[in-house]
Chains A and B, each alone.
Chain A
Amino acid sequence: DAGVTQSPTHLIKTRGQHVTLRCSPISGHKSVSWYQQVLGQGPQFIFQYYEKEERGRGNFPDRFSARQFPNYSSELNVNALLLGDSALYLCASSSRGTERDTQYFGPGTRLTVL
């Protein structure tokens, strides 16, 4: 079975632009979470979706938004990009989204903002 997939792999944008990152969860998984990992740090939680509804949001500005589609895939959108948005963006899927559920991560999208 395929794991979590993310696209694109790498992305270069300039300040002020908008970006859309995509994620497809493991087949049968209904929960998707997004994390931002700045170089040298652990991942930071951005959003969690379960059954197309937002279950949680981390401490990120409103420039960050996300949604989950009926097939459980997800998009993360970032508007008005800043240099500080340069990071590895990780998507994770889990079956139910509970505290005992293991989250499986995709390979990530490396975003560079110039």
Chain B
Amino acid sequence: AQKITQTQPGMFVQEKEAVTLDCTYDTSDQSYGLFWYKQPSSGEMIFLIYQGSYDEQNATEGRYSLNFQKARKSANLVISASQLGDSAMYFCAMREGPGTGRRALTFGSGTRLQVQP
């Protein structure tokens, strides 16, 4: 079974509108971290936002917020007021706890977001 599932290969959004990128995950660990990264065409993975499994509040970082629904195992990224520079690939990733024996990031397949003027 896939650990991280991103069901939207591509998304379009109008400039200045909000967009939600979906992510569901699968783990039996109680302690884990969920991350979103942005990858422009240049290739560098840019960290956007983090949510810990024990965090009660949804994480926010500027225009980025994470809609964390633990019971549904979902961690959707919300980008408010989209900008042209937001056009990129977006990856959801999970880092499981010590029970797995390692702490590597497991990535989803990504969502390509295109912001239209």
* Interface residues of A, Cβ cutoff 8 Å to B: 33, 35, 41-45, 48, 55-58, 88, 90, 92, 97-108, 110
Stretch of B14-22, B40-48, B78-86 at the chain-chain interface: B40-48
17 A–B pairs (Cβ distance < 8 Å), ordered by A: A41-B110, A42-B110, A43-B45, A56-B102, A99-B31, A99-B33, A99-B97, A99-B103, A100-B31, A100-B52, A101-B95, A101-B103, A102-B35, A103-B105, A106-B44, A107-B42, A107-B44
Instruction: Please determine whether B47 and A104 come into contact, CB atoms closer than 8 angstroms.
Output: yes
Could you say which interface size class chain B belongs to? 20 to 34
Closest Cβ neighbor of A6 among chain B residues: B44
4 nearest A-B residue pairs (beta carbon)? A56-B102, A42-B107, A105-B45, A45-B104
Known: A45-B104, A56-B103. 12 other contacts (CB 8 A): A42-B107, A43-B45, A43-B91, A43-B107, A48-B104, A56-B104, A58-B104, A92-B45, A97-B103, A99-B98, A100-B50, A108-B44
Number of A-B contacts (CB under 8 A): 77
